[in-house]
Amino acid sequence: MADFSEKFNIYFSAFEDYLNESFTADNMKVGSEGAAEMFEAMDYSLRNGGKRIRPVLVLAFCEACGGDYKEALPFALGAEMIHTYSLIHDDLPCMDNDDMRRGKPSNHKVFGYPQALLAGDGLLTLAFEIFSSCSLSAEKRIEGVKILAESAGFRGMIAGQAMDMKNESGNPSFDTVKKTDALKTGELIKAASLLGCVAAGADEEQKEAAREYSLKVGLAFQILDDILDVTSASEDLGKPAGSDIRNDKVTYVSLLGVDGARSLARSLTDEAVKALDVFDNKGGFLKQLALNLADRKK
Determine the average pLDDT of the residues in 120-135: 97
Check which CATH number belongs to the domain holding 275 and give it: 1.10.600.10
* Mean pLDDT over each residue of the chain, to the nearest integer: 93
What confidence category does residue 242 fall into, taking pLDDT thresholds of 50, 70 and 90?
Answer: low
Task: Work out how many domains the chain is built from and give that number.
Answer: 1
Determine the average pLDDT of the residues in 150-173: 94
Count of alpha carbons within 13 angstroms of residue 201, beta-carbon side:
8
> Residue 53: which domain range?
2-294
Helix (H) or strand (E) holding 8, with range, is helix 2-22
Q: How far apart are CA 69 and CA 119, in angstroms?
A: 28
Contact in structure between 85 and 106 (CB atoms under 8 Å): no
pLDDT of residue 237 exceeding 60, the answer is no
What confidence category does residue 241 fall into, taking pLDDT thresholds of 50, 70 and 90?
Answer: low
pTM over 0.85? The answer is yes
Contact in structure between 58 and 199 (CB atoms under 8 Å): yes
Share of the chain above pLDDT 90, in %: 85
What confidence category does residue 124 fall into, taking pLDDT thresholds of 50, 70 and 90?
Answer: very high
Q: pLDDT at position 9, please?
A: 97
pLDDT of residue 239 exceeding 60, the answer is no
For 73, the 3-state DSSP assignment is helix
Nearest to 67 by CA among 136, 148, 144: 136
Q: How far is CA 244 from the centre of its chain?
A: 20
Determine the average pLDDT of the residues in 104-122: 97
Q: pLDDT at position 238, please?
A: 53
Model confidence pLDDT, tens digit, residues 88-108 = 999 999 998 999 998 899 999
Task: Return the biggest CA–CA distance within the chain.
Answer: 54
Q: How far apart are CA 196 and CA 57, in angstroms?
A: 7
104 phi/psi in degrees, rounded to 5:
-130, 160
pLDDT of residue 269 exceeding 60, the answer is yes
Q: pLDDT at position 240, please?
A: 55
Q: pLDDT at position 186, please?
A: 94
Q: Which of 5-14, 20-29, 242-251, 285-294 has the lowest mean pLDDT?
A: 242-251
Contact in structure between 152 and 186 (CB atoms under 8 Å): no
Q: Which of 50-64, 123-137, 158-172, 225-239 has the lowest mean pLDDT?
A: 225-239
Model confidence pLDDT, tens digit, residues 179-226 = 999 999 999 999 999 999 999 999 999 999 999 999 999 999 999 999
Q: How far apart are CA 19 and CA 13, in angstroms?
A: 10
For 101, the 3-state DSSP assignment is strand
What confidence category does residue 37 fall into, taking pLDDT thresholds of 50, 70 and 90?
Answer: very high
